[in-house]
A and B are shown apart, each in its own frame.
Chain A
Amino acid sequence: MNTLKDNLFAGAIAGALWGWLCYLSNYMSGIFPFEGSFTHNLLSFTFGGVVFGIVTSGILAVAGRFLPFRRTLYKAVFVSASVWIVLRLAGDMLSMMEPERYHLVTPETMQGFLLALALGAILGALLKRGEARAEGNA
């Protein structure tokens, strides 16, 4: 059994790993040409990843019991993808209201959705490992 605090901690670790995965994925795909330096991006991707990871795992901790999945991995992927979709839909609305400020790019959208699935997979794997460790200690 994971407490909310355990979930948030796992989310922070998963988020940091995910941030670096985001950087590597885009470096390899070249979908968005980086504008910042490596050091700046290392910090910003880590920070952004940690924030996204903690929020995703927190929502999973609170709402996970209501999801129609048995496995933690599926729940984590579902929550992560849902959070990303909600943010993206809000971005669509912003783009409609301020088209000169918010532009939508399809390749970045596709990459972002796949990365959201990856965040769920990383988080689910970490949580499952934590649960197994807790059961082993019990």
Chain B
Amino acid sequence: MERTVASSGIGSLVPAIVLVALAFTMMVIAFGMESIAPGVHDALHDFRHVIGMPCH
């Protein structure tokens, strides 16, 4: 069985926080949420289409 998360300490907390932040970023990218990150729609427009996410 893989040991994926350290049993204790800040060493595992930082990657976990990064992961949650990036998961939110992924949603912003996938749906082009301009209200949260202005410019994200145009910046990643082609990427969003290529990976099959809905766009205009």
Q: Which residues of A contact B (CB under 8 A)?
A: 1-5, 7-8, 19, 22-23, 25-26, 31-32, 34-36, 41, 44-45, 47-49, 51-52, 54-55, 58-59, 61-62, 64-65, 84, 87-88, 90-92, 94-95, 100-105, 108-113, 115-116
Contacts and interface: CB of A to CB of B under 8 A. Distances in A.
Provide the main secondary structure of the chain B interface. helix
A61 B5 contact: yes
A61 B12 CA distance: 12
Interface residues of B, number: 34
Nearest to A50: B22
Interface of B: 1-6, 11-12, 15-16, 18-19, 22-23, 25-27, 29-31, 43-56
Contacts, number: 133
Provide the main secondary structure of the chain A interface. helix
Counting from the closest, the 8 A-B pairs by CB-CB distance are A112-B52, A58-B19, A102-B54, A91-B54, A61-B4, A48-B47, A32-B49, A109-B52
